[in-house]
Structure 1
Amino acid sequence: MPDLTGYSMPSVLALFLLAALLVWISGTRLAQYGDEIAERLQLTREFIGLIFLATVTELPEIVTTFTAAQVENAALVLGNMFGGITMQTAILAVADFFAVRHALTSWPRKPTHALVAVMLIVLLSALLAVTFIGDRALFSHVGIGAICLSLGFPVVIALQRGFDQKASWAPVDLPDEDRPSKARQRADGTLSECRTQVLVLRAGLFSLLILGAGMVLALSADALAQKTSLGGSFIGASLLAAATSLPELSTTLAAARLGAYTMAIANIFGSNLIMLALILPADLAYEPGPILSQADASAQFSIATGIMVTAIYVAGILIRRTPNLLGAGLDSWLVMGVYLASLAGLYLMN
C-alpha cells in the first residue's frame, strides 16, 4: 500500500478532503438509484436500505479497515469501526434535524426496524464482553470472537426477512404519509428515462468510486494519526469515522428528502451491522494476533456509546409519537448529545 507519511500535512489534508468530497457525491446519487430500483423491482425500501445501500455505503469502512489492519494500526481499525457505529447512528439525528417533517422514528410502519436494532444491541453487548475477557485464536491469528460476531449479520438478515413476512404488530396513531417531495419528483423525472440496466451500471460505477476514495481516506487518516499527537483511537473514532460515514450521511439525507424514511433508517442500522461483520476481515489482515485483543478503553467506550444511541432509537420506534423539540424528535437530540459527549470522552482519554 502507498505510504502517505512522507507527504506534508497540507498535502495529506487535501487528499483527505478530496476523497471525502467524492464519497459525498457518490452517496447522494446512490440513494436516488436505490429508491428508483426499489420501485422498479417491487422491493421494499427497508430491504434496499438494509442490503443494497448499507453494503455500498460501507465500502469506505471495508477499505479503511482492511488497509489499516494491513499496516498493523489496530487502534485506528478499532476506533474507526466502533466509533463509526455511534457516528453513523447520529446521522439519523442529522436527517431528523434537516429533512424530516415529524420525528424520524414516527414513520416506520413495521416492527422490523426495532427488531434489527435490538439484535444490533445484542451483538454490541457480546462484542463488549469479548473485549473485556480477550479474544482467543481459533486458527493462525484469527480469533473465535471475530468469527462469531461476523456471523451475526446474515443471522439478523434472515430473522428480519422472516419476521417481516409474518409480523402481526400493527402501529397506530401514525403521521400521514408525505407526498413525494420536489426532489423526488425531479429525480423520478430524470431517472425514469433510464433503463434498469443503466441504473444498475451507474450504481456500480459510483460504488467503485466510493471504494477508491475510501482507500485514500484510510491512508491519509493513518498519516494524520502519525503526524499529530491525537493518536489512532481518537483519529479513527472522529476524523476517519466521520469521513467514511459520509456515504451514510449523504444517502440518508437524500433518502429522507425523497420521503423514503424507512430506507434511511434501515441504511444506518444495516451499516452498523456490517461494521461488526468487518471484524473478521480485519482479523484476517491483522497478522500479530486476534485484533479484538488490542481493544483498549477507548474502543470499549465507543462500543458502550454505540449501545446507548441504538437503544435510544429503539425506544423512539416503540413510543411511535416521539416528542418534538425544535423540529426534531427528542430521541434524536439525545443521540446527538451522546455522540458529542463520546467525542469529548475519547479526547480526554487520549
Structure 2
Amino acid sequence: MAVVIVLAGVRLTRIAETLSDRTGLGDAVGGALLLGAVTSLPGNVTVVTGALGGDAGFALANPLGGIALQTVWLAIADLVYRRANLEHAAASLQNVLQSIVLSAMLAVPVLAYATPTLTLGWVHPLTLLIPALYGYGLVLLRQMQRAPMWQPTRTEQTADADAGDAVENSNAEDPGGPGSGDETSTARLWAALAALGLLVGAAGWVVGRAGLSVVAGTGLEGGIIGFTLTTAVSSLPELVVLVTAVRLGHLTLGVGNIIGGNVFDMLMVALADVAYLRGSLYSDAGPTGLILLGGTLLMSATLAAGLVMRERRWIGFEGVSIPAIYVGTILLAIGT
C-alpha cells in the first residue's frame, strides 16, 4: 500500500496543480485546498477507519502524526538543499500565516480535552471551530496574496518565489513539459483525479485496518501506532513532492505544500470526532493523545519561528529542534 500511495499520490499532486492553475484558484487557495485534499486522502480514510473501529487514540494520533512527521520532513529537505537554510531561502508570508493558523487550530483540541463532558450528541462542539478556522485562514491567505502588508527581506540566498509558477506556465505552453498533463482536457483531469482518489482512498483503508491489527497484535497503544507507523505510510506523497520540489529549486512551493497539507490535516481531527460514535473523541483518547497534541503544537510553533527568523546557516535552530521534539514526544508518550 505504501508503493500504491507514493505512485498514485505523486500523480494526484501533479493533476491537482494543473487543475489549480486552470480553475484560477491560484497557489494560495488552490494549493492549500486542492493539493491538501488529494494528498491527505489516504490519511482521511485511515482516520475514519480507526474512529469507526472504536480506537479514539489511533484516530486522533493519525492526523497529529501526519502534521508532526511532515514537519520533520522539512528538516530532511533542509539537508537536501545545501546552499542555504531552507526556511531562509523559501521566504513567504503565506507560509508564515499558514503556520500561525495551524497553531490556532491545534489549540482547539486542547480546549476540548479540558471540557470532556461538553458534547452535542456524540461530537464535541469545539470540533466545529476547526473547519471554521480553516475556512477563515483561506480568506486571510487570499487577502494577503492580493494586498500584502509585509514583505520578507530578499538576500542572495532567497529563492525566487515565482520560479515554480514560471515552470508551471512554461509547462502549460509546452505540452511536453514534465508532469504538465496539459494535453489532457480539464474534464479528463477531473476524472483522473477522482479515479486516483478512489485508489489511494482504498489504500488508506487497508493501512487503517493494518494499523489496528498491529495494535491488537503487539499490545501497543493505538496512539503510538497512529502517530508513527500508519502516518509514515499515508504521508509518503508529501515527502516525495517536497524533496522533488526542493531539488528542482521550487523552495517556496515545496515548503508551502507541506504547511498547507498540515493545515488541511487538522480537518481530519474534526472528521475523527464525527466518525467516533462512542462519545467525545478527546476524552477517550487519554493522556497519550494530549502528549502527542502538545508535541505537535510545539513543533509547529518552532517551524513558524524558523520561518520568521530565517537564519542564514545551512541548518538553523529549527532544523535541529523539530526532529528532537518529534523523538522526545514519542518517548514521552511511550513512557506514560
TM-score w.r.t. structure 2 length?
0.86
RMSD (Å) for aligned C-alpha atoms: 2.7
Q: Which amino acid aligns with 1:195?
A: T
Note closer, same or farther for the CA distance 1:46–1:108 as it changes in structure 2 (3 Å cut): farther
Say which of 230, 234, 237 aligns to 1:244.
234
Moved more, 100-109 or 151-160: 100-109
Q: 1: distance between equivalents of 2:257 and 2:153?
A: 24
Asked whether the 8 Å contact 1:27–1:250 carries over to 2, the reply is no
The answer to whether the aligner puts 1:177 opposite 2:168 as a matched pair is: no
The answer to whether the aligner puts 1:341 opposite 2:328 as a matched pair is: yes
Asked whether the 8 Å contact 1:46–1:262 carries over to 2, the reply is no
1:162: how far off? 1.6
| Deviation by residue 1:273-294 (Cα, 9 ceiling, x = unmatched) | 2222223332222221111221
Counterpart in 2 of 1:82?
Answer: 64
Q: 1: distance between equivalents of 2:179 and 2:47?
A: 36
1:307: how far off? 1.4
1:317: how far off? 1.5
The answer to whether the aligner puts 1:161 opposite 2:142 as a matched pair is: yes
1:43: how far off? 5.4
Asked whether the 8 Å contact 2:75–2:322 carries over to 1, the reply is yes
TM-score w.r.t. structure 1 length?
0.83
The aligned length equals 326
The answer to whether the aligner puts 1:29 opposite 2:8 as a matched pair is: no
Note closer, same or farther for the CA distance 1:339–1:149 as it changes in structure 2 (3 Å cut): same
Gaps of 5+ in 1: 1-18
Asked whether the 8 Å contact 2:96–2:307 carries over to 1, the reply is yes
Q: Which amino acid aligns with 2:183?
A: C
1:84 is paired with a residue whose SS is helix
Counterpart in 2 of 1:234?
Answer: 224
The answer to whether the aligner puts 1:98 opposite 2:80 as a matched pair is: yes
The answer to whether the aligner puts 1:267 opposite 2:254 as a matched pair is: no
2:249 is paired with a residue whose SS is coil
Counterpart in 1 of 2:48?
Answer: 66
Q: Which amino acid aligns with 2:151?
A: A
Counterpart in 2 of 1:3?
Answer: none
Instruction: Summarize the alignment of residues 180-195 of structure 1 with structure 2, pairs less than 5 Å apart.
Output: 188-189=177-178, 191=180, 194-195=183-184
Q: 2: distance between equivalents of 1:237 and 1:192?
A: 35
Q: 2: distance between equivalents of 1:88 and 1:187?
A: 31
Q: 1: distance between equivalents of 2:218 and 2:235?
A: 22
Q: Which amino acid aligns with 1:188?
A: G
Note closer, same or farther for the CA distance 1:190–1:122 as it changes in structure 2 (3 Å cut): closer
Q: 2: distance between equivalents of 1:49 and 1:263?
A: 9
1:170 is paired with a residue whose SS is coil
1:297: how far off? 1.7
Gaps of 5+ in 2: none
